[in-house]
Chains A and B, each alone.
Chain A
Amino acid sequence: MKKFSISNIGLAIAAPLAAAIFSIIVSSLAVIATKKSPIDAFQTMWEFGTQSGSLMEVVNTATPYYIAAIAIAVTFRAGLFNIGVEGQLRLGALFSCYIGAMFVLPPVLHVAAVFLISMTFGGLWAAIAAYLKVKRGVNEVISTIMLNSLAGGLSAYLLSKHFALIEEGSNNLQTKELPASAQVPDLMPILRKFGVEDQPGGGVYGMFFVAVALGLIFWFVVNRTRFGFELRATGMNPIAARVSGVNSKKMTVIALMLSGAIAGLSGLPEVLGQTHSYNLGFRAGIGFSAIAVALLGRNSAGGMAISALLFGFLEVSSRALELIDIAPETYVIMQGSILLSSVVAYEVVRRFKLVLQSRELAKAVHA
């Protein structure tokens, strides 16, 4: 079925292109509404965003988005929707920082242990939603949203009442600092070899490699293994999957818990690479941006990588807008409009493809 004809490639590009154009129009209108020039805005963003210091930040912003988007894509492929990544990654990061700082292990082992703790708590938190779905028939979208709010309250309570160090004269609550063996070094030593100069504000988080590896594993498992096939079968046609011997309840539980475990990892790049402890300033909203990244990237490993980088680029480069008196929040408009228009454009292209297919079929039958 798959042919590399010009029309196929054209169709593949059509949707993202249309979405990008729509987004540029909408955000231009938003800028014009504040009596500023959109061309200045885009130019400023491009110039600032392509500096090597900014590019490093783009990658650092995109890394957790990408990992969290993979977590969401796992459930999407199984016909589920885990909106609870935000809560799962928060609890994962909190517990892994708290428990991880209690002991010392050899460097690589310690990081692996922290990963494991974070994945365990993320997975267990998602297991609540899985239990409610399988045993009580509760829609996972609503339960994971409620669990997000619960995770917010629970982590605030645990941090302030139990996990935080009491420091004299400091308002910032934080867990005990992770020992050096649990910290992930940044990639400057490698980048320097390629002629990249040091930038103020640090280099690229080491967990960038983890994100890349996860992307490859995700692609391989979903597309090339029996488990991945069963996962996709459950998502595409649950009844057909069940008839052919897939235990759909088991798949639901596995998909949600696996998703929670991966979500647990997505809270770690900044924690292990920079702050080395969980504190009140823990970055909020990763889980929600990741939903947009997953939708934009069509739940494919490559697509999500591109959209994670795009979101990171928009977020970082828009900071320069302040210099020319435009609200940096303009990037939310860009992200929102590109998300909405791409979701619609993908569907239009899908329908158009169906029409083409049925025409070809009709031709083949009558010929």
Chain B
Amino acid sequence: MKLVKLLRYATMLVFVLASIRVITGASDLTSVGTASAALLLSVPIVLAALGGLFAERAGVVNIGLEGMMILGAWAGGFIGSKHGPWLGLLAAVFFGSVGALIHAVATVTFGVDHVVSGVAINIIAAGLVRYLSTILYQGGSWPGPSQSPDVNSISLNGLPVLSGGHYFGWKSPDLLGSIANKQWFFISDLASILRGLTGDLSYVTVVAIAFVPLAYFLLWKTSLGLRLRSAGEAPVAAESLGVNVYAMKYLGVLISGGFAGLGGGFLAIVAANHYQENQVAGRGYIGLAALLFGNYRPGGLLAGAGLFGFADALQLRDSAAIHGLILFIVLILGFVAYRNLRKGKQLAAVLSLASAALSLWFFFAVEELPGQLVTMTPYIATLLVMALASQRLRMPAADGMPYRRGGLR
């Protein structure tokens, strides 16, 4: 049932995007390249959000995801350029976990406020990698104080038959790709998005996406997962039933750091081919926003991350597409106005209609958005989505609360 509904929404979305593409001529809105870039940029956010999932389900708020991603990205660039990309990713996981260990010691063992500890870790991680990079640069082994040497790339592959992969020397046909080139309205749009999502994938991308159902299985279908979640919902009750709440919290936070680190490593090794200062650029926080958007569920966070990845990809590829996206916002605001009117909220309806009109005027008044504004797209998307989604959230009941064995405060 749920799947059918989801597919219907997805088809509607593609239809709307295809229509906007035709109206505005922003061909990159549904191109293979955009879909593929959207996936590539979603992966680090998915990983960060998965990290958030494990920590928050164990009852520890992890604002430190950003810092752990920074550590992972740095380690990915540093180890990856020396010992190859796979070891680089492993090092990224390790460095992320080290950051998480600090967070766990501070919050679980010492009961420091979770947000305070997380923010402190973000500040420290950014400072630490700058220090390390400077030393490596002075030692002559780095090209610049803010950039690592290049990392060898990990090879790409696609789905057999549909998206032109290559298996054991056999080159598969590219069915979706050929439909995408046909320029049929909607059908080609759908094909090119699917081709972008299934072709030329990095193996790391496949593994990262596979972590989402795996996380669901681990957290909701195993007894370990039940124990971990019980630490986040009702730690005192869990303790009385013999669950080692401290251990569960440590485990959750450490896994969290591993995922965040991997997300950082992905940025340095797969999305780019070297570490660069400010590479993470708030993606840890966006991952957290994706998790909140997804109501602390694996499927939901995947949707949230996809949304932010799409906004990010458009922003990087084509500012004309962002311009077309304004029309999309007009449609959403129009829909919100209609909903408000139906509910009898006249004032809200008028306000959203006015915003829709303003956006429409902006769409016609501005021919092309300047670059500095286009880079803001993912952050605006995050704010808008949070504003629309935040009210129906149900976070783990004891999330963010200090917990001490024996009920001491």
A residues near B (Cβ < 8 Å) are: 30, 34, 81, 83, 132, 136-139, 141-143, 145-147, 149-150, 153-154, 156-157, 160-161, 288, 291-292, 295, 327, 329-330, 332-333, 335-337, 339-340, 343-344, 347-348, 351, 354
Contact = CB atoms under 8 A, between A and B. Distances in A.
A153 B119 CA distance: 22
B390 A150 contact: no
B162 to A, nearest CB: 37
Interface stretch (B5-13, B125-133, B334-342, B355-363): B125-133
Contacts of B289: 142, 146
A81 B115 contact: yes
A339 B120 contact: yes
Given A329-B131, A330-B131, A343-B106, A143 B111 contact: no
B383 interface: yes
B131 A136 contact: no
Contacts of B288: 142
Contacts of B380: 146, 150
Contact of B110 (A145, A153, A156, A344): A344
A153 B138 contact: no
A146 B382 contact: yes
A351 to B, nearest CB: 7
B390 A137 contact: yes
> Which 9 pairs between the two chains have the least Cβ-Cβ distance?
A332-B127, A157-B372, A336-B124, A153-B376, A149-B379, A137-B390, A156-B372, A329-B131, A146-B379
Contacts of B117: 343
Contacts of A142: 285, 288-289, 292, 382, 386
Nearest to A332: B127
B292 A136 contact: no
B159 interface: no
B387 interface: yes
A149 B376 CA distance: 7
Contacts of A337: 124
Interface residues of B, number: 44
B238 interface: no
A331 to B, nearest CB: 9
Given A153-B372, A327-B138, A136 B391 contact: yes
Contacts of B382: 142, 146
Nearest to A285: B126
B370 interface: yes
Given A142-B386, A351-B111, A354-B409, A34 B135 contact: yes
A281 B124 CA distance: 24
26 contacts: A34-B135, A81-B119, A136-B388, A137-B391, A139-B292, A139-B390, A142-B285, A142-B292, A146-B285, A147-B379, A149-B281, A149-B282, A149-B376, A150-B380, A153-B376, A153-B379, A154-B373, A161-B372, A329-B130, A329-B131, A332-B128, A333-B127, A340-B121, A343-B116, A347-B110, A354-B409
Given A154-B373, A348-B110, 6 more contacts: A83-B119, A139-B386, A146-B382, A161-B372, A327-B135, A339-B123
B375 interface: yes
A354 B402 CA distance: 15
A339 B121 CA distance: 9
Given A146-B282, A330-B131, A288 B372 contact: no
A329 B124 contact: no
Contact of B115 (A141, A156, A333, A347): A141
Contacts of B409: 354
Nearest to B102: A340
Contacts of B110: 344, 347-348
B326 interface: no
A160 B134 contact: no
A344 B106 contact: yes
Contacts of A344: 105-106, 110, 112
B127 A335 contact: yes
B124 A340 contact: yes
B123 A343 contact: no
A296 to B, nearest CB: 10
B123 A291 contact: yes
B290 to A, nearest CB: 11
Nearest to A330: B131
Contact of B379 (A150, A160, A335): A150
Given A150-B376, A156-B372, A288-B123, A333 B128 contact: yes
A131 B319 CA distance: 29
